[in-house]
Amino acid sequence: MTTTASNANTPIALITGGSRGLGKNTALHLARRGSDVILTYRSGAEEAQQVVAEIQAMGRLAVALPLDVGDANGFDAFAAQVKQSLAEVWQRERFDHLVNNAGIGIHASFEQTTEAQFDTLMNIHLKGPFFLTQKLLPLIADGGRIVNISSGLARFSLPGYATYATMKGGIEVLTRYLAKELGPRGIAVNVVAPGAIETDFGGGAVRDNADLNAMVKSMTALGRVGLPDDIGGAISSLLQADNRWITGQRIEVSGGMLL
């Protein structure tokens, strides 16, 4: 592990799903801005370690921990791992920022959506963030921040995303309640709602399907499809001290999609 300038004032961010996509991008943005990082992965251990190496090369501390956000039965053990990592790597008891980012996409019409698909998306996108945040609360520092990830699909409606968007709508409501209930601890809670982004999410359709990419571009005010840097930069910015007075807000980062 490289030598770092970490000290008791260095923010520590925990990012779920930080081994790839928007989670990885957010982790790298935060590291560039001086944060240390705990990132989680479900199956991509090698990818996660590559992100850790990139962060360490910036002179920051980072660790990668396995986590299935769709399985709440594992949250107690995960919280214990986080506590252990904080003690061993940082000699601290708390981290500062939680980004509930991990997720998957399932495209299916309302008529064809199965109960199994519904349960999978609910467990990963709604139940998971709800109870994971609950388990991690004792480890989040007073005055910390939580950012939940929603989607532009919670505002506009595109066929095939009824279940996914329903869960994201739930996350947006949960965000307001968390902001209210955690306010006495000085913890700010906001939700970032990306528009269509060129990543491997949902099989990489927005990135790889030229017709879909062109359609998204045509309905976006700024005239292009979103990039991971657009989202990682926004989340990182929201976690900076200058934005300490923002809480309970839904911030859409979509380039003006479907205005």
In our burial notation (b when 16+ CB lie closer than 10 A, e otherwise), range 189-222 reads bbbbbbbbbbbebbeeebbeeeeebeebeeebee
Query: What is the pLDDT, as a whole number, of residue 215?
Result: 87
Query: What is the pLDDT, as a whole number, of residue 1?
Result: 40
- Catalytic, out of 151, 161, 236, 254: 151
Helix runs in the chain, H state only: 21-32, 45-57, 75-85, 115-122, 128-136, 162-182, 205-208, 210-218, 228-238
Query: What is the pLDDT, as a whole number, of residue 205?
Result: 66
The question of whether 168 is a catalytic residue gets the answer: yes
12-253 CATH pick, 3.40.50.12500, 3.20.20.210, 3.30.410.40, 3.40.50.720: 3.40.50.720
Residue type, 5: A
Please count the other Cβ atoms lying within 10 Å of the Cβ belonging to residue 58: 13
Dihedral, CA of residue 22, residue 28, residue 29 and residue 32, to nearest 10 = 180
- Catalytic, out of 6, 19, 85, 150: 150
Query: What is the pLDDT, as a whole number, of residue 4?
Result: 52
pLDDT beneath 70: ranges in the chain? 1-5, 201-205
Q: What is the pTM of this model?
A: 0.95
The DSSP string of 128-150 is: HHHHHHHHHGGGEEEEEEEEEE-
- Catalytic, out of 41, 127, 164, 236: 164
User: Which pair of structure tokens corresponds to residue 88?
Assistant: 């061993």
The question of whether 150 is a catalytic residue gets the answer: yes
**Do the bridges between strand 95-100 and strand 140-149 make them parallel or antiparallel, or are there none, so unpaired?**
parallel
The question of whether 164 is a catalytic residue gets the answer: yes
Q: Which of the 8 DSSP states describes residue 93?
A: S
Domain ranges of the chain: 12-253
**Over the stretch 100-156, which tens digit does the pLDDT of each residue have?**
999 999 999 999 999 999 999 999 999 999 999 999 999 999 999 999 999 999 999
- In this structure, are residues 190 and 249 in contact, taking their beta carbons and an 8 Å threshold? yes
The question of whether 151 is a catalytic residue gets the answer: yes
- Catalytic, out of 35, 127, 168, 236: 168
Q: Hey, which residues does 252 pair with through a beta bridge? A: 193
Burial (CB < 10 A; 0-12, 13-18, 19+), residue 54, is middle
Query: What is the pLDDT, as a whole number, of residue 212?
Result: 80
